[in-house]
């Protein structure tokens, strides 16, 4: 197994350059696969990847490496994640030869209510400010992951990022771009300018940026563990600040929070078991899409066919209609997960697909009984982890507790204010979640740890990567680089029914002929 870890893990994006055709593989592939013997770390930032690799070289587990890399990404890519956000993970444990799932997403404050929001003449939860703030779950997630699967000292996982926060690191081009775009949105909120603006400007590409506030916060977590964040001075600072801004997050909300181990669920797609976490996330939408598509000869249709694109899009609409109605916090609602991902249910749903016309409205099925970073790692022992983390809406809510160096998430925006909806806002309830890690096994052995970024795009892309590899015979790099189908405007976790056909976007590479053919089915 050690000799194939790199092959089944790493997905990176670069350009081939120089105008030459590729010697091997598909022309759209940005590079060849990276293959390693003793471990692998794949993140969206080279410094975070290097931190993870250094942990592996010291004998750390893949879980140790992932935690250290995630800590670094919170500093280096604050436009997508950080300690103010949530975390989900799927872990392959080499000792037991089993998968484990962790839901480290935080609930709404216990004292918030639909009645209060409606008394403020609000028809939805705002995107920014104190009201969409939910308990940040990532730090407790790190603690739980390390307790179960780590072998390095917890404190040591924080030191590389603390050093970068104190001494500085070069800001990458992409993060500089998103920071500049974020400034206009967050500049009016307290404490943002103090940290992120210098002479009225956000850090430019290549500028050495320091965040001593975050270094101090990370040091407290490194020394005190969970209590350093969810109890004591930092917890009081977060709660007092949000309440002073008109929100509801309390010290008790923070001190009482604990993430949950939750078994992953799966469907078998042409001999491969595809694993996702059950709700409160949207992972099973990918399984529903694959179940619907399994009875069709996708290989014969081919990637570059309007028939396949139309079929995939219609299957996605059906899955997302169910997503809107049924996916929510299972602690508050009975979620019929096993029926939703059953083959029989998929066959019934597939009957709704019209190959000559796009559906304008998709109703949820009738059953018998809602920016991000992704990273993955594998170690010399055979452990693997698929981990995703986010603040929602880029940097988050705009709420930056004074002196702590990070922004709190705004995931609460995804609650419904309809009391009858499964995803209705209730104090202490977790909102519908969009970020989802994934895993694939074959004959009970690990085949692939993978995930993508991008809100509602994620289940669609999960399904397409699996299809690209299994139906179209691509390698992992090609499967990620292949042009993607993205349907938007479909059912949302606050609305049960879509009112029109939505919009279909095709990445460059499909060609105008296919677009013309699809337009015939899309009025």
Q: Closest by alpha carbon to 337, among 280, 387, 295, 274?
A: 280
Note whether 457 and 476 are within 8 A (CB).
Answer: no
- Cα–Cα distance for residue pair 142/135, rounded to 1 Å: 15
- Cα–Cα distance for residue pair 347/25, rounded to 1 Å: 35
Note whether 424 and 418 are within 8 A (CB).
Answer: yes
Instruction: Provide the 8-state DSSP code for 4.
Output: G
φ/ψ (deg, to 5) at 42: -125, 115
- Cα–Cα distance for residue pair 107/283, rounded to 1 Å: 19
Q: Closest by alpha carbon to 462, among 474, 450, 470?
A: 450
CA distances from 228 to 203, 220, 450 (A): 29, 5, 31
Q: Name the catalytic one among 49, 134, 372, 434.
A: 372
3-state secondary structure of 255: helix
Enumerate the β-bridge partners of residue 65: none
Q: Would residue 457 show up in a list of annotated catalytic residues for this protein?
A: no
Retrieve residue 395's tokens.
Answer: 């940097």
Q: Closest by alpha carbon to 521, among 287, 312, 292, 297?
A: 312
- Cα–Cα distance for residue pair 390/374, rounded to 1 Å: 9
Note whether 281 and 423 are within 8 A (CB).
Answer: no
Q: Closest by alpha carbon to 437, among 449, 448, 455?
A: 449
- Cα–Cα distance for residue pair 393/429, rounded to 1 Å: 20
Contacts of 458 (CB under 8 A, 6+ apart): 282, 286, 434, 435, 436, 451, 452
Which of left, alpha, beta for 225 (phi over 0: left; psi -120 to 50: alpha)? left
Give percent helix, percent strand, percent coil of the chain, each to the nearest 5.
40, 15, 50
Retrieve residue 459's tokens.
Answer: 């289940």
Task: Kindly provide the residue ranges of all beta strands, DSSP E only, lying in 29-152, ordered along the sequence.
Answer: 40-42, 86-93, 98-104
Residue with tokens 């929510």: 328
Note whether 254 and 227 are within 8 A (CB).
Answer: no
Which residues are tagged catalytic? 372
């Amino acid at each position: 197994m050690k000799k194939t870890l790199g092959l089944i893990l790493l997905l990176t994006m670069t350009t081939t350059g120089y105008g030459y055709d590729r010697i091997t593989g598909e022309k759209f592939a940005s590079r060849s696969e990276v293959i390693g013997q003793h471990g692998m770390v794949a993140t969206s930032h080279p410094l975070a990847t290097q931190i993870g690799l250094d942990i592996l070289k010291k004998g750390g587990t893949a879980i140790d490496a992932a935690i250290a890399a995630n800590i670094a990404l919170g500093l280096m890519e604050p436009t997508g994640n950080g300690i103010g956000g949530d975390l989900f993970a799927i872990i392959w444990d080499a000792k037991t030869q089993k998968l484990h799932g962790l839901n480290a997403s935080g609930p709404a404050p216990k004292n918030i209510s639909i009645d209060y929001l409606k008394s403020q003449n609000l028809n939805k939860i705002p995107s920014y400010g104190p009201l969409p703030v939910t308990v940040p779950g990532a730090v407790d997630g790190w603690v739980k992951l390390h307790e179960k699967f780590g072998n390095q000292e917890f404190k040591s996982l924080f030191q590389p990022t603390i050093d970068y926060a104190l001494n500085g690191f070069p800001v990458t081009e992409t993060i500089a771009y998103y920071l500049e775009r974020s400034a206009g949105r967050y500049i009016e909120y307290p404490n943002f300018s103090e940290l992120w603006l210098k002479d009225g400007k956000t850090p430019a590409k290549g500028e050495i940026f320091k965040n001593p506030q975050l270094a101090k916060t990370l040091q407290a977590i490194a020394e005190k563990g969970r209590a350093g964040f969810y109890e004591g001075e930092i917890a009081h600072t977060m709660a007092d600040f949000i309440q002073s801004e008109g929100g509801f997050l309390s010290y008790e909300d923070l001190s009482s929070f604990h993430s949950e181990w939750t078994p992953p669920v799966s469907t078998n797609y042409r001999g491969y078991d595809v694993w996702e976490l059950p709700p409160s996330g949207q992972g099973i939408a990918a399984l529903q899409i694959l179940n619907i598509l399994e009875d069709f000869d996708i290989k014969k249709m081919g990637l570059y066919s309007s028939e396949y694109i139309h079929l995939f899009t219609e299957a996605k609409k059906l899955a997302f209609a169910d997503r809107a109605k049924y996916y929510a916090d299972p602690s508050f609602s009975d979620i019929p997960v096993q029926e939703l991902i059953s083959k029989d249910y998929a066959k019934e749903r597939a009957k709704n697909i019209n190959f000559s016309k796009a559906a304008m409205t998709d109703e949820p099925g009738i059953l018998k009984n809602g920016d991000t970073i992704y990273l993955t790692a594998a170690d010399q022992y055979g452990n693997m982890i698929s981990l995703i983390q986010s603040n929602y809406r880029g940097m988050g809510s705009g709420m930056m507790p004074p002196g702590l160096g990070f922004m709190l998430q705004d995931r609460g925006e995804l609650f419904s204010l309809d009391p009858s909806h499964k995803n209705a806002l209730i104090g202490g309830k977790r909102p519908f979640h969009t970020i989802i890690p994934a895993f694939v096994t074959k004959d009970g052995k690990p085949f692939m740890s993978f995930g993508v970024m991008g809100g509602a795009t994620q289940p669609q892309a999960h399904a397409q990567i699996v299809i690209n590899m299994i139906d179209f015979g691509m390698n992992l790099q090609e499967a990620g680089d292949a042009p993607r189908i993205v349907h938007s405007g479909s059912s949302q976790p606050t609305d049960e029914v879509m009112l029109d056909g939505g919009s279909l976007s095709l990445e460059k590479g499909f060609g105008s002929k296919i677009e013309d053919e699809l337009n015939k089915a899309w009025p």
